[in-house]
Structure 1
Amino acid sequence: MNGLNLGPGHGAEVAANLAILLYAQRGGQTVYGTVHPISNDDDRPTIGAGRPIDRAALIGCLNELAQNAAPRAEFLPETVLAVSQSAVIWWCRPGLRRVFFECRELGKRTAIVPHPGLVFYAASRGFSVFALQEDSRPTPESTLHEPPYFNTWDFGKICIGSAHVPKRIDIESIAGWECGFFESAFTHPNHGGKRVNHPKSEFAFWKAMLDGEYPGEFPKDLLIPMNATLADLIRGKLGD
């Protein structure tokens, strides 16, 4: 093949300049790969000698392809705050949701309780959640707060454990990520910083929540602010 025209909007005709060969055991998974330069002398492509492909080169090639791929128009719901090739950030309105607990201190309990506004971050490097003071859609300047939940680490990271979460990270999977968080049992507070500003403990706070002592809305005065904003999260500066 001498060249390829990618159609309107893609500029001039392109030609092959690199080939990747993948090797697999018979009936098995890919175990080895080589990359080969392609010469186009006399308009006849020729695959040259190969060299072992490394992880960095393969990721670089895939990133270039992703950047040059034709964009697909997609409707963005109001709750979506930011989207990239490897992450989705969205807002969850404050309201009533059921929670599940299964731990020695609180027993096996479930109840519908109020939650603050939340920001979720699903990415190839993990799943995180943050609390908000405001009830409306956050802005880049909105301060993030510690998630007042068990099973979370510093910087909002969620311990997924046995939770069932989607394999995909895209707008269509948002509901699945939320279900994976809310429908899993909270089992323990993780090590790290304080998650909620209760005078006794996180156990005392959640016992009060489960007993219906905060029936109207989440007690936002107990949220602990982080030294970070939504803009920091979007720019990937959180936890650096």
Structure 2
Amino acid sequence: MTSIVTGPTGADIALRSAMLLYASEDGAAKYATVHPVLVDPKTARPVIGAGQPLDRDALLLALRQINEAAAPKAEFLPGNVIGLSPKAVTWWCPPALRRVFFRCEELDGERSAIVPHPGLIFRAAVDGFSVFAVKGAARPLPDTPVFEPPYFNTWDHGRICIGTARVPKRIDVKSIAGWEAGFFDSAFTHPNAGGKRVSYPNGEYAFWRDMLDGRFAEGYPEEVLVPMKASAQQVVAGKFGGRV
């Protein structure tokens, strides 16, 4: 637990106080207290101190300040952004050549190569980082079907295993490049447990060996993609499910 985080403006902000709400059995808040947050000298962890009743004026002032700080600022959205909410940003990457890094004994240790990638949809959200594949080079529409990500270090349904990858602390449009870098600049090490990521003879290892050896230099082989029961709209809404 930490008492210092990066705020909406990018500056560090510190945990100074805590508000406790007391509610009746039906969940309706009836009473509130505010408490200073102190630092335990032995553990350096934040500790909630003794509180005092929170009056109406102080409560309204705190809510106004939080609202002003959290309110989304008007900004120009680039064409790759397909979804934006207070909890997530979703964007599309057209098919492209990108370098990949592998650290995997089954693929002869450490290897790197520039290989073709399909169109991709990334979603960075408070509940995790996800990636999905799409066919074609057109910007996804709401009903565009999505496919499992054909990569190592991903779980079922697009979930990315971040591991030691360096990703931004913020979830916003300005941080998109950092999220992409965290994914592509990290070494792929192994296929995670779960269903298959690609439909290819002899599986994922054989597919990526052929990719690294330059077999698909003319473009990504979309026929290997594994379909999901989800659309681009469902990804934006965070409601992606299983395979077909």
2:73 maps to 72
Q: Distance in 1 between matches of 2:53 and 2:233?
A: 42
Alpha-carbon spacing, 1:67–1:138, altered in 2? closer, same or farther (3 Å): farther
3-state SS of 2:106 partner: coil
* 1:112-131 map, 5 Å: 112-131=114-133
3-state SS of 1:113 partner: strand
Q: Distance in 2 between matches of 1:152 and 1:118?
A: 14
TM-score for the superposition, normalised by structure 2: 0.76
Shift of 1:69: 5.4
Aligned residues: 205
3-state SS of 1:178 partner: helix
Q: Distance in 2 between matches of 1:26 and 1:192?
A: 43
Would you say 1:86 and 2:84 are equivalent positions? no
Gaps of 5+ in 1: 1-16, 40-44, 48-60
Q: Is the 8 A contact 1:130 1:156 kept in 2?
A: yes
2:193 maps to 191
Task: Pick from 48, 55, 75 the counterpart of residue 32 of structure 1.
Answer: 48
* 1:147-166 map, 5 Å: 147-166=149-168
Alpha-carbon spacing, 1:149–1:46, altered in 2? closer, same or farther (3 Å): closer
Q: Distance in 2 between matches of 1:168 and 1:187?
A: 26
Q: Is the 8 A contact 2:90 2:121 kept in 1?
A: yes
1:103 maps to 104
1:175 maps to 177
Q: Distance in 1 between matches of 2:67 and 2:140?
A: 29
Would you say 1:207 and 2:236 are equivalent positions? no
Shift of 1:93: 1.1
Q: Is the 8 A contact 2:230 2:241 kept in 1?
A: no
Alpha-carbon spacing, 1:198–1:84, altered in 2? closer, same or farther (3 Å): same
2:7 maps to none
Q: Is the 8 A contact 1:22 1:30 kept in 2?
A: no
AA at the equivalent of 2:98: R
3-state SS of 1:149 partner: coil
Would you say 1:234 and 2:236 are equivalent positions? yes
Alpha-carbon spacing, 1:25–1:182, altered in 2? closer, same or farther (3 Å): closer
What is the RMSD of the two structures over their aligned residues, measured on CA atoms? 2.7
Q: Distance in 1 between matches of 2:209 and 2:173?
A: 34
TM-score for the superposition, normalised by structure 1: 0.77
Tell which structure's C-alpha radius of gyration is larger. Answer: 1
Shift of 1:232: 1.1
3-state SS of 1:207 partner: helix
Identical pairs, percent: 53
Q: Distance in 2 between matches of 1:118 and 1:215?
A: 18
Which structure dedicates a bigger proportion of its chain to strand?
A: 2
